[in-house]
Amino acid sequence: MIHFGLEGYLPLLLYIGMWATFLASVVWRPSLGIYLMVLALPLQTGRYKLQDFPLGSQFIDILLLGTILGLLVKGQSIFPRSNLNRFLLLFASSVIYHSGRGRTSSGRRCRSGSVIPGSPPGKTTWKCSFSR
């Protein structure tokens, strides 16, 4: 395998790029945060190396926050008007409700599956028992 010697510097450059993109998204162009996020989403093992830095594990959250703040600063809507907005709101609320209740799509009870903030630590996995 060919190595270019950048493995030690890449997490630091990505971390600095995250904060630079956050600031640029807030004050200049909100879409920049989405561009870096789309570039870095497939690189999951590379993002794991960011966990050594402060707030590095919240890489995606910080970029989304920068994009949302940039849209609010520019006076633009976070969700553009569309005919699908009601459907998306209904779908998202249904997913949150049913995952909080711990049920699968077939109606079987999960051992644990809550995504509700403040839930006990054992209630945050998505694994379900399909035994009857």
Structure tokens at 130: 């399909």
Which DSSP category does 132 fall into? -
Structure tokens at 97: 């409700």
- Tens digits of per-residue pLDDT, 3-38? 777 778 888 999 999 999 999 999 999 999 999 999
Structure tokens at 86: 């009601």
**pLDDT (0 to 100) of residue 45:** 84
Structure tokens at 74: 């520019």
**pLDDT (0 to 100) of residue 46:** 82
Q: How confident is the model at residue 124 (pLDDT cuts 50, 70, 90)?
A: very low
**pLDDT (0 to 100) of residue 97:** 82
Residue 111 scores a pLDDT above 60 = no
**pLDDT (0 to 100) of residue 43:** 84
**pLDDT (0 to 100) of residue 107:** 57
Alpha-carbon gap, residue 94 to 71, rounded angstroms? 27
CB of 111 closer than 8 Å to CB of 104: no
**pLDDT (0 to 100) of residue 108:** 58
Alpha-carbon gap, residue 28 to 125, rounded angstroms? 38
Q: What are phi and psi of 109, to 5 degrees?
A: -80, 135
Nearest to 33 by CA among 91, 83, 73: 73
Structure tokens at 73: 């600063």
Query: pTM value?
Result: 0.68
- Tens digits of per-residue pLDDT, 36-90? 999 998 888 888 899 999 999 999 999 999 999 999 999 999 888 899 999 999 9
